[in-house]
Structures are given as C-alpha cells and as structure tokens.
Amino acid sequence: MAKNSLLGYAAAGAVGVLIGIVVAPEKGSKNFKSVKRFINDWATKMLDEIQAGKDNLEDYADEARDKAFELKGKAQAKAEDFADDVRHT
C-alpha cells in the first residue's frame, strides 16, 4: 500500500510540474531552475524517507534477532530440564 501511495505522489508531482511549466509566465531558464530546485528538494525528501524506512527496518530486525536468541535460550533450557527429568526417572 505504501508503495502505491509513493508512486501516486510521484505521479501527481510530475503532472503538477508539467502543468506548471506549460502555463508559467516566466521564461524557460527561470522555469528550468525552478523545476530543477523542485526536483532536487523532492528527491532529497524521498531519500530521507527511504533512509528513515531503512532505519526502522534495521530496528525491527534487531528486535527480531534479540527475541529469537531469547526464545532459543528458553527452548534450550526447557530441553535441558526435560533431559534431566528423563535421566532421573
């Protein structure tokens, strides 16, 4: 869903830029600079969002790894307890 939203925002932004260029009263060099600045700002924001997503994903991976080690330790302890019980019976 987020991927579709991102693509929708990108498409809407591109359409807006094209309409702005077509109806703009300024000369081409000013329009080009404005469009370039807009695209650079937009790309910077998208890269920041991507980095934030990667950071969140790394945090989730760390949490999952920690939980897996915790569960592994509990499982090993239970297996050892069970093995002790079997030996003593």
Q: Is the pLDDT of residue 2 over 60?
A: no
CA dihedral 23, 28, 31, 35 (to 10 degrees): 110
Judge whether 56 and 66 are in contact, CB under 8 Å.
no
Find the farthest-apart pair of alpha carbons in the chain and give their distance in angstroms, rounded: 92
- Answering whether pTM is above 0.75, one says no
Cα separation, 34 vs 18, in Å, equals: 12
Domain count, the chain: 1
Range of the domain at 50: 2-88
Residues 11-66 pLDDT 10s: 787 787 777 767 766 676 777 787 788 888 988 988 998 999 999 999 999 999 99
Q: How big is the chain, counted in residues?
A: 89
The pLDDT assigned to 73 comes to: 93
| 74 band by pLDDT with thresholds 50, 70 and 90 | very high
